[in-house]
Amino acid sequence: MARFMDFREHLKLSAAAIAQLAEDARKAKTDPFGVRQMELYHTPDGKVHYQLEGPDEDAIRQHHAALGVPAARYIRSTASPGQD
């Protein structure tokens, strides 16, 4: 699986959404597109950094489209598995 980083300048998340993302990451939950949340960092003013793991960039885009999150430019991580 490939890892992708994303940054959103103005994506305010509710407390419930943040809690759900954190729970999904803890449980290594994978969505129907084969994508899972690995890390999430956010600020109250809507800056969000996150790392996702999935089969490819298209799966990441499908994951976000299903959540109603606009497409972005994703940065593929070059770290080898097990090297965080």
Summarize pLDDT for 13-39 with one digit per residue, the tens: 788 888 888 898 899 999 999 999 999
Report pTM: 0.78
d(CA 25, CA 37): 5
Are 6 and 52 spatial neighbours (Cβ–Cβ below 8 Å)? yes
The CATH class of 2-76 is: alpha beta
Query: Six-digit token pair at 50?
Result: 């996150």
- How many other CB atoms sit within 10 Å of the CB of residue 5? 14
> CA-CA distance, 51 to 75, in Å (whole number)?
9
Predicted confidence (pLDDT) at residue 81 exceeds the cutoff of 80: no
Residue 79: pLDDT band (50, 70, 90) is: low
Where are the domains positioned within the chain? 2-76
| Interstrand relation of 2-8 and 48-54 (parallel, antiparallel or unpaired) | antiparallel
Q: Cα separation of 65 and 50, whole Å?
A: 16
